[in-house]
Chains A and B, each alone.
Chain A
Amino acid sequence: MDLKTLQLKLLDILKEKHIPSDEDEKYIKDVLSSKNLTVLKDIIYFWRSDELARYCNFTSAYLKKINAFDDKVKEYYRVHNTSGYIEVLGKEFLNYLKSDIDKLTVFVAGFELSMIEVNSGSENDFFIETCYEPSDVFNFVYSDSEYPSEKKEKFIVRVSSELENNFTVINTN
């Protein structure tokens, strides 16, 4: 096997894209059946999880609270090209979550991404709309409050460096 073939196959294996077959070279079969592969994947997921938990603390805490963090990190790694730089990886991960099917995940990720932008010096104003009462969300993430319920009214969170604590909640009703 030449270097190109070997590296592309290992990439596919790590990204869970490789479909094992009888046609696989002996080395690839050895890799697939090895404990080494499990350890290698554990290392990859451990570092991504560790980095993301530190960079996007709020979203990670939320995802952990709903027992979705590990799966989201693994899913993100499998599907996306992950940067080795946390500033890039963190933002890309949050952007990815902004398209999640869970509306609360979308809000949490969108809010944290905006806060990161403003805390990094952005002078833009960001507006994040949600059907959850933001204080319910914060209480759920950081205390033992119940999972927030959807409200009929809409809330808009404005994130801006002009505001005290960089954000405020606007109730649209």
Chain B
Amino acid sequence: MNDGIKKFIPRETLDEIKELSRYKKIVVHGVGLSIGSYDGYSEEYLRLLDTLYEEINFEWHSEHLGYIMVEGKTLGTMISLPRTDETVDMISERVLKIIKRYDREFLLENIIRIVPDYDSDYSESEFMNKISSNTGCGFILDVYNLQCDEHNHGFDLHKYLSEIDISKAREIHIANGTVEDGFMLDAHCDTVMDSTIELTKQILVMKNCGVKLVNYELLDEAIPAMGEEAIADEYKRLSQIFCA
């Protein structure tokens, strides 16, 4: 796939992560793999991951269960996949290749669905469980994305959580966003809502929950509007809640 992405990670960035890895565990989270593109995932992204794999001893790595390109053409956003047998087979085959290539646990994250739902063979939970059971991959549960889907489409979030194989969840992502034309969007631009925190707490005490990390997501673009002090305060607040 010719995706025109960056061909390398700057040396100073690698050195900074290496230094951090001396006293912190590192996990890798990508947005450029496009694992769901019918014509193949991004080899350029994997080459970037190769560099990290060679230089950094990361714990696990993860990507989004969606696609950002078609035939090398960038869509400009991430789009959710139809939950069909064809998709399950394609994703499973690719996940197995990735797990073999890096010898690290690989996680897939649920993304917000904006396009109308396609007539599917699987429910959202069945879809994730099937891919996981086919491949052994884990999950990221993006709690805010689940809340967006609940708000935007009437998605049954609690049914999903009762059906998903929670032992395979390794990370929870929490964030906040915006509301546009009545749609909740995952803009990653604000402090976390109380409802997101409460839901996260509920997940963490679920029987056999495999979550090891709660990740507060904030885009660089949100920093000027939020301010560094507010971000530091939010980090402290979340740390007190989830690291106590």
Assess whether A30 is in contact with B73, with CB atoms less than 8 Å apart: no
Q: Which residues from B are CB-within-8-Å of A83? A: 3-5, 74
- For residue B54, CB closer than 8 A to chain A, the reply is no
- For residue B137, CB closer than 8 A to chain A, the reply is no
- For residue B229, CB closer than 8 A to chain A, the reply is no
- For residue B243, CB closer than 8 A to chain A, the reply is no
- For residue B59, CB closer than 8 A to chain A, the reply is no
Q: Which residues from B are CB-within-8-Å of A27? A: 116, 118-119
Assess whether A39 is in contact with B82, with CB atoms less than 8 Å apart: no
Assess whether A85 is in contact with B115, with CB atoms less than 8 Å apart: no
Q: Which residues from B are CB-within-8-Å of A14? A: 75-76
Closest-by-CB residue of A relative to B79 is: A10
Interface stretch (choices A40-48, A133-141, A142-150, A160-168): A40-48
- Interchain CA distance A146-B136 in the complex, whole Å: 64
Give the residues from 34 to 66 in chain A that come closer than 8 angstroms, CB to CB, to chain B: 34-40, 42-44, 47-48, 50, 54
Q: How many residues of A contact B (CB 8 A)?
A: 35
Given known contacts A8-B71, A42-B180, A44-B75, A36 and B118 CB-to-CB distance under 8 angstroms: no
**A6-27 interface code vs B (CB 8 A; 1 in, 0 out):** 1110110011000000000001
Q: How many residues of B contact A (CB 8 A)?
A: 37
Closest-by-CB residue of B relative to A6 is: B82
- Interchain CA distance A119-B49 in the complex, whole Å: 28
Q: Which residues from A are CB-within-8-Å of B138? A: none
Assess whether B76 is in contact with A77, with CB atoms less than 8 Å apart: yes
Interface stretch (choices B83-91, B127-135, B166-174, B233-241): B83-91
Assess whether A43 is in contact with B114, with CB atoms less than 8 Å apart: yes
Assess whether B116 is in contact with A3, with CB atoms less than 8 Å apart: no
- For residue B38, CB closer than 8 A to chain A, the reply is yes
Assess whether A6 is in contact with B180, with CB atoms less than 8 Å apart: no
Q: Which residues from B are CB-within-8-Å of A81? A: 4, 72-74
- For residue A102, CB closer than 8 A to chain B, the reply is no
Given known contacts A6-B82, A38-B181, A47 and B74 CB-to-CB distance under 8 angstroms: no
- For residue B144, CB closer than 8 A to chain A, the reply is no
Question: Given known contacts A6-B82, A11-B75, A43-B76, what 15 new A-B pairs fall within 8 Å (CB)?
Answer: A4-B38, A10-B115, A11-B70, A34-B115, A36-B115, A39-B181, A40-B79, A43-B180, A44-B75, A47-B77, A81-B72, A81-B74, A82-B74, A84-B32, A85-B5
A-B contact pairs, 26 of them (CB 8 A): A3-B38, A3-B84, A6-B118, A10-B70, A10-B75, A11-B73, A11-B75, A15-B73, A27-B119, A34-B116, A36-B183, A39-B114, A39-B185, A40-B114, A43-B114, A43-B180, A54-B221, A81-B73, A82-B74, A83-B3, A83-B5, A83-B74, A84-B5, A84-B32, A88-B5, A88-B6
